[in-house]
Structure 1
Amino acid sequence: MSNLYLSPVQLAARLVDWGAEKRQISGGRLIVLGFLAGVYIGFAAHLATVVGTGDFAWIGLQKFFVGAVFSVGLMLVVIPGSELWTGNTMMTAAWLEQRLTLIDMLRNWSFVYLGNLLGSVFLAWLIVSQTGLMDGAFGGTALQIASNKVSEEFATTSHAGAYFFRAIACNWLVCLAVLLAMAAKDVTGKILGIFFPIMAFVAAGFEHVVANMYFIPAGIFAKALPAARAASGLDPALLAQLNWWTLWQTNLLVVTIGNLIGGGFFVAALYWWLYVKNPK
């Protein structure tokens, strides 16, 4: 066994312990830790908005840079420590091993999801409405991002299905990033383990529910900024579709379900089955 990182068998066992340990955290602490994670992902989302503003000659290179800076968010979540709902979907491994109950798991998910939402919306309000940075080109980009995420009709099967599968793929990669960070035994290894899967999911165009908790409210707040509206070039009808109802109806609900499957089943449950239940 390497002294530099955990083997797959060791990592799967650590994943079960990690999930079981979360049952000890009080509801109040979960909300605060979730709030911090929402803020950290929001910082990364704002940075991605800034980097994504303007035209690149090579659109793929622009997506790479946006993904590269977004990886800062999970680094802040994992290394200083906080609670991110998308990563916590991997608690299913501890549940399958009967190290915690379904109620324990749902309690954690509920408090952390609420905390993530509060932190993300708070940071969106702070940056867009209070800093003066977004009444212009950056605010226009924020509006374009948010509008693209909610303007399609949810009742359209192709839209709902596309977002659902983008969300599965997203959290598959995000949870693999968490596992790579968990496997590493030093900060440099954790940073490298996080960087590549997060860069990949953002550059690929997948959907992350906590990131969207920042991106869409940022667009809603930016609607109040005249220069941002002008810079966005969006039709008033599209701006009208951007609101707190469409945040849930056309995006967060379906993305939440997809993220849960991506992390809870395709990462945690499969690795539990492969390396804990059937290690040989």
Structure 2
Amino acid sequence: MSYLKPAELIGTVIDAGASKVMLSTRDTLLRAILGGALLSLAAAFAVTVSTTTGIPLLGALLFPVGFIMLYLLGFDLLTGVFVLTPLAWLDRRPGVTVGAILRNWGLVFLGNFIGAFSVAVLMAVVVTYGFSTPPNEVGEAIGHIGEGRTLGYAEHGFAGMLTLFVRGVLCNWMVATGVILSMVAKDVPGKVVAMWMPIMLFFFMGFEHSIVNMFLFPSGLLLGGDFTILDYLIWNEIPTVLGNLVGGLLCVGLPFYATYGRPGSPRRSARVQASEVPASVPTAV
């Protein structure tokens, strides 16, 4: 079958989480760097399309190409491991400890930032002809995004911080759904369609994704955006990371595991019983 039903999918999801934790430091960093870079290129692409055409929906329709490419290649995002690795711990997979999970998160965060920042520098060179001219219209658009999503929240104080956090939660609700849906099909077209839907939604709705922001905000600072590194950390990146963590776990990972993967679950018990039936014994259709 080209489609895995949720009761079958949970095992694949848990296996993926366990494999992420057990990766070597080198492989974890490399896959995170490449994941952050591909997603950042897709963000630059989406901003370019939105700016040059004046149609934001078109940018949102095309942005998922980066997410799709990086997950088809097995690269990693912090927002993805937020949902995958805790499920492997809940399932008591050997070697998956809290310390190992935190190590994985730290390495993926670092790798994603390196990849995103590298693309930010390269794109800044492109839109300024090597910093010899003022930013073109795409560069100006990126700079204004950084201002609006830092100082714009700060103007509202606590209400702005709450809005930022909730946008982070809603973002990773969709992104974590996309991560799980990347495993729901066994053929490439099925995976592409499944991943496309939630990623398009989060981007067009303006939700806050910590890895995309690792590209947008350093780009804004390089291109003359009117905000500071401290503004970026306090009024975007830190609350966004926390919101992404909560959204991935509470809205996707834990409910999915509770209904399909927890020990004693009727669906899980049925899968275990089916797997224990000898091949020579026919089962009911």
TM-score band by shorter chain is 0.7 to 0.9
RMSD: 1.7
- Highest Rg: 1 or 2? 2
Would you say 1:118 and 2:114 are equivalent positions? yes
Q: 1:226 is matched with which residue?
A: none
Scaled by the length of structure 1, what TM-score is found?
A: 0.87
Q: 1:275 is matched with which residue?
A: 260
Q: 2:69 is matched with which residue?
A: 76
Would you say 1:17 and 2:15 are equivalent positions? yes
Equivalent residue of 1:188, what SS? Answer: helix
Q: Measure the CA separation in 2 of the matches of 1:154 and 1:210.
A: 24
Shift of 1:168: 0.7
Q: Measure the CA separation in 2 of the matches of 1:54 and 1:8.
A: 41
Q: 2:199 is matched with which residue?
A: 198
Structure 1, unmatched stretches of 5+, are 57-61, 224-238
Amino acid at match of 1:7: K
Q: 1:55 to 1:22 in 2, by over 3 A?
A: closer
Shift of 1:172: 0.7
Q: Contact 1:154/1:160 (CA < 8 Å) preserved in 2? A: no
Match of 2:102 among 85, 92, 106: 106
Equivalent residue of 1:53, what SS? Answer: helix
Scaled by the length of structure 2, what TM-score is found?
A: 0.86
Would you say 1:257 and 2:242 are equivalent positions? yes
Shift of 1:64: 2.1
Would you say 1:67 and 2:60 are equivalent positions? yes
Amino acid at match of 2:56: K
Q: Contact 2:177/2:252 (CA < 8 Å) preserved in 1? A: yes
For residues 159-187 of structure 1, give each alpha carbon's deviation from its aligned partner in whole angstroms, at most 9, with x where no partner exists: 11001111111111111111111111011
Q: Measure the CA separation in 2 of the matches of 1:185 and 1:55.
A: 35
Q: Contact 1:63/1:202 (CA < 8 Å) preserved in 2? A: no
Q: 1:246 to 1:7 in 2, by over 3 A?
A: same
Q: Contact 2:34/2:112 (CA < 8 Å) preserved in 1? A: yes
Q: Contact 2:87/2:254 (CA < 8 Å) preserved in 1? A: yes
How do 1:174-185 and structure 2 match up within 5 A? Answer: 174-185=175-186
Shift of 1:131: 5.8
Q: 1:185 to 1:55 in 2, by over 3 A?
A: closer
Q: Measure the CA separation in 1 of the matches of 2:202 and 2:135.
A: 29
Q: Measure the CA separation in 1 of the matches of 2:164 and 2:266.
A: 34
Structure 2, unmatched stretches of 5+, are 268-285
Q: Measure the CA separation in 1 of the matches of 2:89 and 2:25.
A: 19
Q: Measure the CA separation in 2 of the matches of 1:36 and 1:184.
A: 23
Q: Contact 2:128/2:136 (CA < 8 Å) preserved in 1? A: no
Q: Contact 2:20/2:81 (CA < 8 Å) preserved in 1? A: no
Q: Measure the CA separation in 2 of the matches of 1:81 and 1:97.
A: 22
Equivalent residue of 1:173, what SS? Answer: helix
How do 1:7-156 and structure 2 match up within 5 A? Answer: 7-53=5-51, 56=54, 62-90=55-83, 91-99=85-93, 100-130=96-126, 132=128, 135-152=135-152, 153=154, 156=157
Q: Contact 1:9/1:279 (CA < 8 Å) preserved in 2? A: no
Shift of 1:23: 2.2
